[in-house]
Amino acid sequence: MAQRDLAGTLNPGAGATGVADVVMPPPVKRGADFWRRFRYNRLAVIGLFIMVAVTFMALAAPILAPHDPDEVSYNILQPPSAEHLLGTDDSGRDVLSRLIYASRVSLAVGVTVSLATVLLGTAIGALAGAYGGMTDTWLSGLINVMLSIPTIPLAMVLGAFLSKDVIFIVGILFIVSWTATARIIRAEFITLRERDYVLAARAIGASQARLILKHMLPNSMPLIIVSVTLGVASAILAESALSYLGYGIQPPTPSWGNMLQNAQTYLRQAPLLAIWPGALIALTVIGINFVGDGLRDALDPRLKYQR
Amino acid sequence: MQYLIRRLLWAIPTLFAISVLNFGLIHLAPGGPTAVYGTSPNVSPKELEAIETRLGLRDPLPVQYIKWLRGMVVGDWGISYKYMIPASQVVLQRSWNTLQLMVVTLIISLLVSVPFGVLSATSKHKSVQYASSVVSMLGISIPTFWLGIMILLAFSVSLRIIPSGGMGSIGKEFNLMDWLHHIIAPAIVLATLRIAGWSRYVRSSMLDVMGQDFVRTARGKGLADSTVLYRHQLKNALIPLITLIGLEAGLLLGGAMITEVVFSWPGVGRLMEESLKGRDYPVLMGAFMMMAVMVVIGNMLADMGYAAVDPRVRLEAGPQGT
Amino acid sequence: MNKVVLRVTIVLAIVGLFAAACAPAAQPPAPAATAVQTAPTAAVQPTTAPDTSATTAPARGPKPGGQVVVGHGQEPDRFWQPFSGLTVSHELGNAMNLPLLQINDKLEFIPRLLTEVPTTENGLISADGLSITFPLRDDVMWHDGEPFTSADVKFTADVMMMEGTDVTGRTGWDKIVAVETPDEHTAIFKFSEIDAPFLSRLSLVSMLPEHILKDKTAEEINKDPWFRAPVGTGPFMFKEWVPGDHVTLVKNPNYFEEGKPYLDTLIWKIVPDSNALVNQVQTGDVDVALRVSDTDAVTVKGFGNVGLVSSSTVSPWLIWVQNEIPGLKDKAVRQSLSYALDRKGIAEQLLKGLMQPAEGWLPSDSWAYNPEALQMPFDIDKANQLLDEAGWVKGADGIREKDGVKLSFKISNIAGQQQRIQILTQVIAGWKKIGVDAQIDLVDVGTLFGDMLPNHNFQMAYSYSGLTADPDMSVMFFCPENDPGGNYGNYCNPKVDEFLKAQLGTFDLAKRKEALSQAQALIAEDVPYLYLGWRADHTAVNNRVKGYLPAPGYIELWNALDWYVEE
């Protein structure tokens, strides 16, 4: 049954897919068309707004923060007041200012780890999945080995030789998290490899590189986008798990992850301390995911006819 | 079948590489098993040295590794430094507890995330799509420990409808209801995170598959929506899910540490954390190697799963598709 | 002089030590926030417990039967103190299997397997201090029905010194030259030199059954199942151990004290998360929670069904300082760090009186305390002045330096315990004011105690020092060449060593006090470590449990045989 659609599926990535999509916008207008589609998704716009706001918060932290985030006092665990809008933490520091400064580290960790992870994960996964055979065997072996490396001992050994700064955290999280993406992308490529348009393209002599870049990769974009967006959240939270064991962002530098972790001690006395960073993480993650959804829908022309 | 045998053979060098890496890592980490005595002022360095010598920790690392490997090959994992009983006994017992928790978690996760993902991809109502997006995103943003403590505060301390921790009522014989009563809360906490991620992948794949030719063809042929959904779309959308479950099988052992701590679940995640703090190398190596074996097996099963779901998948395809 | 009653001396010493830790003068005014309160006579009064009648006279008297669940975060390893570094193993080891004597809530020795505690007064400690006679009870049976005899005592001393076992803490035991057993119920220890704190060490070693463990090699003893399921002499017997979950002990029906223990069952529940432990205390799933943190103590105080018993220990929080590295080598730097340490502010304002400030390893009304020793109250100006005089000048970044050495240090600290970070954050803020930069370096327990401290591989480190009932802490101060275990900071002052050795070698209280005073004066000036405050010990006790008494001498289950429940 699939043979009939062969012609239409030759180049799905470039936009010309099925027979139903008769009216495709000419390539010139593609950018505008993309934005029109993206805007159509109201959630995506909200998500974009959240992301811009959070990014602005990180960049303008010194201007926005009402206090020095490291200014210590004995005025500890205070509830919100006019002086401290969100109260103070267990060292008497202004929670709002710390949250604002923490966005820098958290966003940096979340976004960097997620992007790096997806880049490497996609590359390795794509190669393994597209080539199969011995390539797959070797790369799968590598993935298995990396997947079996226990995070904390790794952090311990590296932490003994390196300074535990942001790059260290990003490095550790990157090393241990790219494998999951790699396996998901590999699975996707294994199925894509047998799709009709790939077979057809191969039949007319397309090179393996062209097959991967022009045919299979664009078709796995939805999965890749989901990976990126989910990756941001897990990286931000993984940092808090690392700080529980001493290998996260070191005090006094605030991150949403370590603020959340530290609030655990005071869950009974100052429950709000855990709510603020948690809410910001949730908000950011939701924003990124909405944008992700918007992107995947806007990039995937086949969906149009469903709306 | 031939494929399976080849994969199994390949597992041996893979596991070997993993063991070298893990062994190196945990032995190179600063500190040692005598750390537990460090708090007592009356323990002299000589005594600690004697213990280290007896445990063979003063030998060169390769020698220690070969000793360990020789034991492992014949099923001897070594003696736990902490408990002074075979490490295999320590690890297997705790792994069994974690396994129970993870199986229940996986069942809950699947039961919730698949319908959730399908619903958010196929629903004609925008509001359903929005709601499912937000709910699943909240799930992934809530840290495990926070959710765990809050569930305990609400349902155990205030409402008193679930127990405050542990695997069963102390001093009572095992019974199924008691077990379910204890396992449900930690399993829900563990499932929350998975539901969030998994339903995203299901949704994405569903949307992807829905746009594909064979689905449209099937629809064009006049097949009912539900038939299309189940026979064609869902099956294909399951592929990333199979990968995730395969991954989960591998990481099963280590993945539940924080939940095990919060719910006093005597699982292997907690054992690993304690063993790491106490540098109980034989237990650690045993647990890590078990994890590695499950990673390899999980991967293998996932691969076979792809072929089962999508018959077009040929696992041994070479570069030219032959 | 040498007729001084040993028992009295030790008791005095210990009570002094303890009470000083809670010196009433230092009490902050707000009583609601003050958990550590002590009556001048007794050691500890429960603070919030509305009904801890056990400390006074119980109205109806103990009723036998019932079950108590003790909650704690640790998983045991082997139930014999010299084989374990874990509190849980020490606690349960004591409940199942007794040492010859124990330490009570007033820090006095009480006989357990003895008819009498040896003192110089009753002659059981010889005049030269080199021989101690232990008169054993004749009605003690092992849980399997075998009689407990002097052969078991001798066997235990032999295992303590046996090569190749996992025994740690041989200090003192290595001075025993012989154990004589003239009859079944008398054991005489002969020493090569006096070891003044020996009885205190003895209270932490349970006796081993010769009839079960004899003729075994060291390696066999290390692995013997007895240590995981002891057949002991204690009021409770081992029943089961579900790894990671709980340990169940049951009443020993043949226990030698008539009618005791009262409880049928004692369960040790392993609850690794402190929030979860507090929850279980509130729900009543845990009756007695041992060693809850200061933060959780505040929460527990609010529960209606639970009393909180707080006491100060003789174990101080301190910042270990590496005395041999550039910068910290300079005595003026260490002194100014001490002056810039706001102990009082941290204790009273940050911790709301849950900690009492400490300036040395002895509390201020210990019999051995030297009030003449240099005090270093919070004084930023003085600290700055000391650094100026010593030639440390502020650089462009506000950090002082001299000859290319910057006063910038890492304080290594165990991760995952927020209160430690909270305290250090204040310490660092204080030091910033005198141009000293410090950063917290989070490490895991295994790294700190397994590598950094024993290998002297740190700049500064935060933890508390071990707890001993005797004022002797010389292992922390002896010069490195004297092979101490606890001198992590490489401190060395030969004069201090002389005084410390002198006080170890005599049972004469006056002589010990003189030598300890001299040592304190020198140490206070040298500032080898920065003492911060006395660690508090909080126990949450459900109101249905009666008879709990605090344990300043470390073992909380020391009187578990007197606990009973009242529904």
pLDDT tens digits, residue range C81-140?
Answer: 998 888 899 999 999 999 999 988 877 889 999 999 998 888 899 988 899 999 999 999
Q: A246 and C422: CB-CB below 8 Å? A: no
Kindly list the residues from chain B whose CB atom is less than 8 angstroms away from the CB atom of residue A274. 146
Structure letter (DSSP) for residue B172: S
- A265 in contact with chain C, both atoms CB, cutoff 8 A: yes
Q: Which of B15-19, B89-93, C387-391, C482-486 has the lowest mean pLDDT?
A: C482-486
Q: Is the per-residue pLDDT at B234 higher than 80?
A: no
Q: Is the per-residue pLDDT at A45 higher than 70?
A: yes
Nearest-by-Cβ selection for A188 from B196, B221, B239: B239
**HEC profile of C3-51:** CCCHHHHHHHHHHHHHHHCCCHHHCCCCCCCCCCCCCCCCCCCCCCCCC
- Beta bridge partner(s), residue C206: C99
Contacts of C349 (CB under 8 A, 6+ apart): A74
Residue with more model confidence, A81 or B48? A81
The whole-angstrom distance between A76's CA and the closest CA on chain C is 7
The mean per-residue pLDDT over the stretch C340-359 comes to 91
Q: Is the per-residue pLDDT at A112 higher than 90?
A: yes
Kindly list the residues from chain B whose CB atom is less than 8 angstroms away from the CB atom of residue C282. 157
Residue with more model confidence, C104 or A91? A91
Q: How far apart are CA C172 and CA C485, in angstroms?
A: 14
Q: How far apart are CA C290 and CA A249, in angstroms?
A: 31
Phi then psi dihedrals of residue A274, to 5 deg: -85, -25
* Per-residue model confidence (pLDDT) at position B70: 93
Q: How far apart are CA B258 and CA B254, in angstroms?
A: 10
Q: How far apart are CA C259 and CA C265, in angstroms?
A: 15
Q: B130 and A43: CB-CB below 8 Å? A: yes
Q: Is the per-residue pLDDT at C216 higher than 80?
A: yes
Q: C442 and A250: CB-CB below 8 Å? A: yes
Nearest-by-Cβ selection for C298 from A246, A248, A269: A269
* Per-residue model confidence (pLDDT) at position C38: 30
* Per-residue model confidence (pLDDT) at position C221: 92
| Of residues C81, C165, C216, the one with CA closest to residue B54 | C165
The whole-angstrom distance between B248's CA and the closest CA on chain C is 23
Q: Is the per-residue pLDDT at C14 higher than 50?
A: no
Q: What is the pLDDT of residues C287-320, one digit of tens each?
A: 999 989 888 998 898 898 999 998 888 889 999 9
Q: How far apart are CA C369 and CA C360, in angstroms?
A: 9
The whole-angstrom distance between C415's CA and the closest CA on chain A is 5
**Which helix (H) or strand (E) element contains residue A150?**
none
* Per-residue model confidence (pLDDT) at position A18: 31
- B160 in contact with chain C, both atoms CB, cutoff 8 A: yes
Q: What is the mean pLDDT of chain C?
A: 85
Q: Please give the residue of chain C at the shortest CA–CA distance from A251.
A: C440
* Per-residue model confidence (pLDDT) at position A262: 87
- C443 in contact with chain A, both atoms CB, cutoff 8 A: yes
Residues 451-470 of C with CB under 8 A from B: 451-454, 457, 463, 465-466, 468
**HSE-up (13 A, CA, CB side) for residue B208:** 31
Q: Which chains touch B (3 or more CB pairs under 8 A)?
A: A, C
* Per-residue model confidence (pLDDT) at position B38: 64
Q: How far apart are CA C160 and CA C205, in angstroms?
A: 9
Helix axes C509-526, C331-339, angle to 10 degrees: 100
- A1 in contact with chain C, both atoms CB, cutoff 8 A: no
Domain with CATH 1.10.3720.10 in chain B: 90-309
- A253 in contact with chain C, both atoms CB, cutoff 8 A: no
Residue from B212, B215, B295 whose CB has the most chain A CBs within 10 Å, to mutate = B212
The mean per-residue pLDDT over the stretch C509-534 comes to 93
Alpha helices of chain A — where are they, by DSSP H?
Answer: 30-40, 42-59, 61-64, 95-131, 133-147, 151-161, 166-192, 196-203, 208-210, 217-219, 221-244, 256-263, 272-299
- B182 in contact with chain C, both atoms CB, cutoff 8 A: no
- C439 in contact with chain A, both atoms CB, cutoff 8 A: yes
Token pair belonging to B153: 């505060």
Q: Global pTM? A: 0.84
The mean per-residue pLDDT over the stretch A100-123 comes to 93
CATH number of the domain at B90-309, please?
Answer: 1.10.3720.10
Say if CB A264 and CB A89 are below 8 A apart.
no
Kindly list the residues from chain A whose CB atom is less than 8 angstroms away from the CB atom of residue C422. 76, 90-91
Q: Is the per-residue pLDDT at A124 higher than 50?
A: yes
Nearest-by-Cβ selection for C415 from A245, A267, A268: A245
Q: What is the pLDDT of residues C157-187, one digit of tens each?
A: 999 999 888 888 888 898 999 999 999 999 9
3-state DSSP call for residue A165? coil
Question: Which amino acid is located at A28 in the chain?
Answer: V
Residue with more model confidence, A49 or C14? A49
**ipTM of this predicted complex?**
0.85
The whole-angstrom distance between B137's CA and the closest CA on chain A is 6
- C201 in contact with chain B, both atoms CB, cutoff 8 A: yes
- Cα–Cα–Cα angle for C348, C350, C352, nearest 5°? 50
- How many residues belong to chain C? 567
Phi then psi dihedrals of residue C539, to 5 deg: -125, 130
Q: How far apart are CA C543 and CA C562, in angstroms?
A: 15
Domain architecture of chain A: domains with CATH: 1-31 (no CATH), 41-299 (1.10.3720.10)
Radius of gyration over every alpha carbon of chain B, rounded to an integer in angstroms:
24
Question: Which amino acid is located at C406 in the chain?
Answer: K
- B89 in contact with chain C, both atoms CB, cutoff 8 A: no
Q: B242 and A187: CB-CB below 8 Å? A: yes
Establish, for the pair of chains B and C, how many residue pairs have beta carbons separated by less than 8 Å. 187
- C72 in contact with chain B, both atoms CB, cutoff 8 A: no
The mean per-residue pLDDT over the stretch C341-368 comes to 88
Q: Please give the residue of chain A at the shortest CA–CA distance from B304.
A: A187
Q: Please give the residue of chain C at the shortest CA–CA distance from B279.
A: C446
Nearest-by-Cβ selection for A289 from B133, B242, B321: B133
Q: Is the per-residue pLDDT at C71 higher than 60?
A: yes
Q: A233 and B17: CB-CB below 8 Å? A: no
Residues 337-356 of C with CB under 8 A from A: 345, 349-350
Establish, for the pair of chains A and C, how many residue pairs have beta carbons separated by less than 8 Å. 66
